[in-house]
Amino acid sequence: MPTPPDPTGKRVLMIITTGPDEPDKSYAPFFTAALMAAMEIETTMFFMVHAPELLKKGAAEKIPLKQGGSLKHFVDMAIENGVRLLACAESIRDLCGLRPEDLLPEVKIIGAPTMADLVLDADAVLSF
Amino acid sequence: MATIFGCEIPEDRYYYIERSQMTWVKVEDSRVTIGATDPAQARAGRILFLRVKPAGTVRERGRPIATVESGKWAGPIIAPIGGTISEVNTEAEKEPSLLNSDPYGRGWVARMTPSAPEELALLLSGEAALAKFREVIVRDQIHCDRNPP
């Protein structure tokens, strides 16, 4: 199990909208989230528009990075450090054409109202 | 000093090898010194950032005592045993690559006063530690290099 965040710590919400079409933009959010989670910041990544496609089973392995390796290394690192992965139900269905079971088991699917609560509860919101 | 596929493993200390963690613990009187092992630094790559929780911080076993970042890895260093951080290696905070170049010496991370010294029994040492290192080094294809890119 990942290390739980410090209950007295801060909360950061990261909103990711870019999908596999822009691989250069794909890894920085996962790396940043992993680092913040390691610093005991409660870190949530919310994937919407085409970003949920990054979370499709087997997709990250097929996204090569210029520095070598694939995006999977960074997805795994974020999960291991305890980053929470949330994905937009509407984007998954209407824009990505995916079914919930197509996504990694660590991903929780939520709707827009829940996202609104997360934005208001966070100490900082980062948009990628 | 044992050597496994080029990775040096001193036999005078305990080891915490769980998930991404490969940490050493050396008992010195009533305190322990904690640092990253040779295979840990090699797997992480050149370490660019080290932030250690301040002296006086009380940590249970399994909670982070430091954060490390390299170009390809970001993660915590977990307290292998519970206790109070008594000293931080500020030299390594200023020069994080010491964790790469001298992981068992000047690249130590923190000293702690254990709250429950019996937790040392939960760590690995001797042949059990070497067997676990061998398993992880082979599985993750780690090639030890004290000056990684």
Find the CATH number of the domain harbouring B66: 2.40.50.100
The per-residue pLDDT for A112 is 86
- What is the domain range of residue A63? 11-127
Asked whether residue B25 is domain-assigned, the answer is yes
For residue A4, name the pLDDT band (cuts at 50, 70, 90). Answer: low
- Cβ-defined contact of A34 to B67 (cutoff 8 Å): no
For residue B145, name the pLDDT band (cuts at 50, 70, 90). Answer: confident
Nearest to A118 by CA among A79, A93, A88: A88
For residue A88, name the pLDDT band (cuts at 50, 70, 90). Answer: very high
Placement of tokens 């997805």 in the chain: A75
Task: List CB contacts (< 8 A) between B67 and chain A.
Answer: 35, 38-39
For residue A6, name the pLDDT band (cuts at 50, 70, 90). Answer: low
Asked whether residue B148 is domain-assigned, the answer is no
> What average pLDDT does range B74-103 have in this prediction?
97
> What average pLDDT does range B34-41 have in this prediction?
97
| B24 within 8 A of B126, measured Cβ to Cβ | no
For residue B95, name the pLDDT band (cuts at 50, 70, 90). Answer: very high
The per-residue pLDDT for B147 is 84
> What average pLDDT does range B126-137 have in this prediction?
95
Which helix (H) or strand (E) covers residue A115, if one does? helix A112-121
Task: List CB contacts (< 8 A) between B51 and chain A.
Answer: 39
Residue of A nearest to B59 (CA): A6
Asked whether residue B9 is domain-assigned, the answer is yes
Residue B129 has pLDDT above 90, yes or no: yes
Asked whether residue B73 is domain-assigned, the answer is yes
Which helix (H) or strand (E) covers residue B17, if one does? strand B14-18
Asked whether residue B144 is domain-assigned, the answer is no
